[in-house]
């Protein structure tokens, strides 16, 4: 918002499918294939596997890793494109990233070398490492959400009056057709920020058929935990987005940094990049998640009610 999550003490800011052959194909590599120069696959020897089968397992492990690397690059390139545009197309392309699951097919590969580790060659417990170069053709698969989640806000335009306690408050209303856990992201031009869960709300759950306010009335009234709209210095207005990822089980977002603030009332929140959000979403099976969002505008005004 920059929405600021205000804390309770001061009563104000939250201030792939692999599908690849084991031997390299001889057909021409498609132009849209992504080359993964070197990737390692590992397999452990045991009594019920032959050396040939073990090698196949190690190669398949390498190809699976190659697909992950290639589709990760594809997601990163989409994210970069979104970040550069920053206009009307941003919404559509961002939706595409978070609502599609990336996968790919290895259309060709070459084994560059192999070696044994941790034990004598071919003995039980020894690990075979195989190094592979792979050509991956990425693909994106659309899928209908596995359950219905709805998000509404208490408005579409909010005011920053210069002081968080005087600025407008944002309240979300969330409903779901299944029992779900929520992760709430604030999405701005250059980053994503996890508003919930946080220090005071370690998990956020919505039961099927029971709508919930976020933050709840109890959190707002008893703890003073509120979402207030604020803008960066020098920015008169901007559009922002609240994105909610609903999952069947709690899946923490592994943010790498926490938002720092000089305001002691501001609740620390995890902050990261579009790329990190996209990669995290790719780790959650499509049948286990649904994504909803709402866009709103913040405008700066001077003065306002006390």
Tell me the whole-structure pTM to 2 decimals. Answer: 0.62
CA distance 260 to 244: 23
CA distance 96 to 81: 12
**Cα dihedral: 246, 247, 248, 249 (round 10):** -130
pLDDT, tens only, 253-281: 886 545 555 555 677 788 887 767 877 87
> What does the pLDDT read at residue 267?
78
CA distance 73 to 67: 10
Residue 227 pairs in a beta bridge with: 5
**Mean of the per-residue pLDDT values for the chain?**
77
Where are the alpha helices (H) located in the chain, listed in sequence order?
51-85, 88-99, 217-218, 274-282
CA distance 198 to 285: 24
Sign of the Cα pseudo-torsion (95, 97, 98, 101, in order) = positive
Residues in the chain with pLDDT values less than 50: 2, 7-27, 81-90, 257
Whether the Cβ atoms of residue 58 and residue 40 lie closer than 8 Å to each other: no
Instruction: Show me where the domains of the chain are located.
Output: 3-14+145-300, 34-142
Cis peptide before 27 (omega within 30 of 0): no
Alpha carbon of 79 to those of 4, 172, 284: distances in Å?
25, 26, 18
Residue 73, Cβ density class (10 Å: 0-12 exposed, 13-18 middle, ≥19 buried): middle
CA distance 129 to 226: 53
Alpha carbon of 1 to those of 42, 185, 204, 283, 293: distances in Å?
46, 11, 20, 27, 14
Q: Which two tokens stand for residue 263?
A: 């305001």
> What does the pLDDT read at residue 50?
84
DSSP for 165-180, written as a single string:
GGS-B--EEEEESS-E
> What does the pLDDT read at residue 161?
93
Nearest to 274 by CA among 144, 93, 132: 93
> What does the pLDDT read at residue 77?
55
> What does the pLDDT read at residue 296?
92
How far is C-alpha 5 from the chain's CA centre? 21
CA distance 281 to 288: 11
Q: Which residues lie below 8 Å from residue 228, measured CB to CB, with a gap of 6+?
A: 1, 3, 4, 6, 12, 13, 14, 15, 164, 165, 167, 168, 169, 170
> What does the pLDDT read at residue 212?
94
> Cα 198–201–207 angle (5° rounding)?
125
């Amino acid at each position: 918002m920059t929405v600021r999550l205000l804390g309770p003490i001061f009563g104000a800011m939250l201030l792939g499918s692999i599908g690849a052959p084991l031997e390299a194909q001889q057909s021409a590599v498609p132009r849209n294939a992504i080359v993964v120069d070197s990737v390692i696959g590992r397999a452990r020897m045991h009594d019920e596997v032959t050396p040939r089968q073990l090698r196949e397992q190690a190669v398949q492990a390498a190809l699976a890793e190659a697909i992950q690397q290639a589709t990760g690059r594809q997601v990163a390139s989409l994210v970069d494109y979104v970040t550069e545009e920053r206009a009307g197309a941003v919404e559509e392309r961002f939706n595409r990233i978070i609502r599609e699951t990336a996968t790919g097919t290895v259309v060709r590969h070459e084994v560059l070398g192999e070696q044994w580790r941790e034990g004598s060659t071919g003995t039980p417990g020894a690990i075979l490492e195989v190094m592979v170069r792979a050509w991956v053709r990425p693909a994106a698969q659309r899928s209908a959400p596995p359950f219905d989640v709805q998000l509404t806000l208490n408005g579409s335009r909010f005011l920053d009056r210069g002081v968080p306690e005087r600025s407008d408050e944002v309240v979300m209303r969330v409903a779901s057709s299944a029992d779900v856990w929520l992760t709430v992201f604030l999405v701005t031009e250059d980053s994503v920020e996890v508003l919930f869960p946080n220090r005071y709300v370690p998990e956020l759950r919505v039961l099927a058929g029971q709508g919930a306010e976020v933050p709840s009335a109890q959190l707002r009234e008893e703890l003073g935990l509120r979402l207030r709209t604020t803008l960066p210095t020098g920015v008169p207005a901007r559009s922002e987005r609240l994105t909610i990822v609903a999952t069947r089980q709690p899946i923490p977002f592994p943010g790498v940094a926490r938002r720092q603030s000089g305001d002691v009332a501001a609740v620390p929140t995890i902050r990261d990049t579009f790329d990190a959000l996209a990669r995290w979403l790719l780790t959650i099976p499509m049948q286990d998640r649904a994504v909803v969002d709402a866009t709103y505008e913040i405008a700066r005004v001077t003065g306002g009610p006390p």
